[in-house]
Structure 1
Amino acid sequence: MSQPQQKPVIGVSVGDVNGIGMELIIKTFSDTRLLEMCTPLIFGSNKLVNFYRKQSPETNFSYQTTKEFSRIAHKQVNLFNCWEEDISIVPGQLTDVGGTYAVKSLTMAVEALRDKKIQGLVTAPLHKKNTQSATFNFTGHTPYLKDAFKVNDVLMLMVSDNFRVGLVTEHVPVKDIARYITREAILSKLNILRDSLVRDFGIDKPRIAVLGLNPHAGDEGLIGKEEEEIIKPAIKDAKHQMLVFGPYSADAFFARGYHNRFDAVLAMYHDQGLIPFKSLASGEGVNFTAGLPMVRTSPDHGTAFDIAGKNKADNTSFIASIYTCLDIIRNRQEYDENRQNPLKKMGAVVLANAADEKIDESGRTTRRDLTF
């Protein structure tokens, strides 16, 4: 009989110390029911936590401090004290201090993730302007994590229940987007997306839609050549390994609800994917970095300096990030166990097939039509 598994330890980076990150963390883990599912480990400082705890006096937030991973308490919120010094905390202000300690929290959390001291990481928002330095020359979490784990490529994947949108390009100026749209880049992102849908989300044969770059997906070359010369050939190549369709005109695709017919959508650039995602995800979106050996999620919003320190932050997306992180950890464990034990996998397939059948009026059993 297998032993019950220990609850996963989920690391949490605090983000910009002048943003809403610490408020989100306090509000989220004030609900002690989360402790039944995971053990939180916050990478910050006592003084930072206590500063924001005073801003949310109605929350019942308690924690224990540790500097050793072997002393994590599995029935409490834990704080890994990353610094002892007094720092200037000015909610709502973009300062060098805010960026410096956001990076300190993140890099220590990622080191713990790399060393498997924690099983997953949820990152609170940081600001790209005050985190840039000679030692942290990245445009955000995603490229930093790619570098930290030394992987060839990663995918920024926005998730909300069964709605998933991945990006070929991330934080790239609009005037430069087209030169980053290559057949190789699209194929790389599609492969990561397909593998993630299978292992991280438990979808055996995922269906993926690809958006065009230009209005009306280029109108057969009348409005740009990228669809005909780059995107369609990449899709044709990918069809040998996966169920992939497109390119679709982005406006009509979301307006007509076509995203509901696919397991994921691959958008060409940031706003093309994130505007419809954030509009339709209703504040519950999660940013997941697909392609890493470990699991990292974050809320789908920024530092919100305009409401920082005012006890107004909505932690819905942050809670969703915790749940998504836990779901993906569990899905990966099940996938890896099934690969090691094919008989267990066969049993799961039989049950899935039985659930996916229906009986027609003549009494015959037929498969549901899943074609598009």
Structure 2
Amino acid sequence: MLILWTQGDTNGIGSEVILKSFHRWRHRPHRAVVVGSYCMMKFYEKRLNLTTPLVEIESLNDIPMQEKTPDEPLYVLSLSCNIKANVGEIQADAGELSMKAVERAATLCLSGEADAMVTAPIHKEAIAKAGYPFQGHTDFLEHLSQSGRAQMLLCDIETNLKVALATVHIPLGKVSETLRASGLRPHLTALANALTKNFGIQTPRLAVLGLNPHASDNGVIGKEETEFLQPELALLKQDFCVDGLFAADGFFGAKRYKEFDAVLALYHDQGLIPFKMLAFETGVNMTTGLPIVRTSPDHGTAFDIAGKGIANEASFLSATHLAIQVAERRRHLETTA
């Protein structure tokens, strides 16, 4: 299989975790190709003393048509060298390059030239400075693939924990009105379909978290649960194996997530804080609902440690393993359909 590693923001830790991942990956049978800037990969290779055989290419056709070998170099599909390193800084041209890499990788996956993409972190302020009207990878890939509804699904291979988000990068004050407009059904449908398609779980057991503290204590702390969340969930139980609404603190504190195949959190921090506490080094972010396979590590650009050589590549490697697992399953389903 051919996996594309997008470089992410070149002022963050993306290049470092890719270089470290390559040294642990090179004996695997699957080929990984970087999409980004060859010059920036060389910059970090020298700065961090991570001696790596890097080869610049202009097209995937430049890769020799032979099986991957352990001594094969790390190919870099280079989009630009007209960028300077400002390690740990927010920079518009770094934001632009990171998005161009995502676009190129997505295009190659959509055309069938690559099997999956694993994206190193981008920086939201940098891509905004570059003029992109997107919040991040998820909505950009939804736009590029013209898919109906993409969903962020956080997965941990170690604990089997899976957390999906009903709302993602929106202000907390808009969560309630957004949920009122969408309801729970489209999120549960997307989650159940993703678990079946990508993990082979035919009738997934789903948990839904409440919106307010204590899931509102029957309307004492907020009205969303009693006014629309609980009534809708009662109807959805006819179509899904689903339970809730659970108070998030008690749910994760008592490790009740082990009773379910996946958890639907209603807003960003409600899902990501416990997930990262439980699976920070091994967690993976997967975008479901796309015609292509895309995963990423569950950490950000980490500007504060960029260029210091202390970034951990474990989550990026986990993301690569999951991308291959899902791509192989999808290929199997296509050949047996």
Which residue in 1 is equivalent to 2:156?
Answer: 160
The aligned residue for residue 50 of structure 1 is 42
Of 8, 16, 19, the residue aligned with 1:23 is 16
For 1:32 and 1:268, the matched residues in 2 are separated by: 36
- For residue 66 of structure 1, what is the aligned residue in structure 2? 57
Q: State how far apart, in whole Å, the 1-side matches of 2:107 and 2:42 are.
A: 25
AA aligned to 1:249 is A
Stretches of structure 2 lacking an aligned partner (at least 5 in a row): none
Q: Name the % identity.
A: 37
The amino acid of 1:91's aligned partner reads V
What's the secondary structure of 1:157's corresponding residue? strand
1:348 matched to which residue of 2? none
Are the equivalent residues in 2 in contact too, given 1:183–1:230 (CA < 8 A)?
no
Residue pair 1:214, 1:224 contacting (<8 A) in 2 also: yes
The normalised TM-score by structure 2 is: 0.93
**Partner Cα distance (2:9, 2:251) in 1:** 36
The residue identity in structure 1 corresponding to 2:195 is L
In the alignment, does 2:81 pair up with 1:88? no
* 1:110 and 2:106 are equivalent in the alignment: yes
Taking the TM superposition and a 5 Å limit, the aligned residue runs for 1:177-256 are: 177-182=175-180, 184-256=182-254
In the TM superposition, residue 134 of structure 1 has moved relative to its aligned partner by: 7.7
| Structure-2 change in CA distance of 1:47 and 1:33 (3 Å) | closer
Q: Is the 8 A contact 1:146 1:153 kept in 2?
A: yes
Tell whether the 8 Å contact from 2:208 to 2:265 is kept in structure 1 after alignment. yes
Structure 2 equivalent of residue 14 of structure 1 = 7
Q: Secondary structure at the match of 1:87?
A: coil
Partners of 1:35 and 1:185 in 2: how far apart?
Answer: 43
CA distance in structure 2 between the partners assigned to 1:336 and 1:232 by the alignment: 38
The CA distance in 1 between the partners of 2:205 and 2:335, in whole Å, is 24
Q: Find the partner of 2:295 among 294, 297, 302.
A: 297
Q: Is contact 1:30–1:62 with CA below 8 Å preserved after alignment?
A: no
Amino acid at match of 2:298: D
Q: TM-score, normalised by structure 1?
A: 0.84
Instruction: Report the secondary structure of 2:184's partner residue.
Output: helix
Residue 283 of structure 1: CA displacement? 1.6
| Deviation for aligned residue 1:72 | 2.5
The 4+ residue runs of structure 1 with deviation greater than 6 A are none
Aligned pair count reads 329
User: Quick check: 1:183–1:234 contact (8 Å CA) kept in 2?
Assistant: no
In structure 2, what is the Cα distance between the partners aligned to 1:273 and 1:70?
A: 41
How far apart are residue 140 of structure 1 and its match?
0.7
Evaluate the alpha carbon distance shift between residue 308 and residue 298 of structure 1 in structure 2; reply closer, same or farther with a 3 A threshold. same
Instruction: Work out the CA distance in 1 between the residues paired with 2:5 and 2:220.
Output: 48
2:9 alignment partner AA: D
Give the superposition deviation at 1:176: 1.6
Following TM superposition, by how much is the alpha carbon of 1:46 offset from its aligned partner in structure 2, in angstroms?
A: 2.1
Q: Secondary structure at the match of 1:224?
A: coil
User: Which residue is 1:174 aligned to?
Assistant: 172
Q: Which consecutive unaligned segments of at least 5 residues does structure 1 have? A: 1-7, 341-372
Report the CA distance shift for 1:34/1:252 in structure 2 as closer, same or farther (over 3 A). Answer: farther
Which of 1 and 2 has higher RCO (CA within 8 Å, sep 6+)?
2
SS in 2 for 1:200: helix
Contact kept? 1:20, 1:308, Cα under 8 Å: yes
Evaluate the alpha carbon distance shift between residue 34 and residue 158 of structure 1 in structure 2; reply closer, same or farther with a 3 A threshold.
farther
1:99 lines up with 2:91 in the alignment: no
**Maintained 8 Å contact 2:280/2:315:** no
Query: Larger radius of gyration, structure 1 or 2?
Result: 1
Alignment RMSD, CA only?
1.7
CA distance in 2, matches of 1:307, 1:134: 23
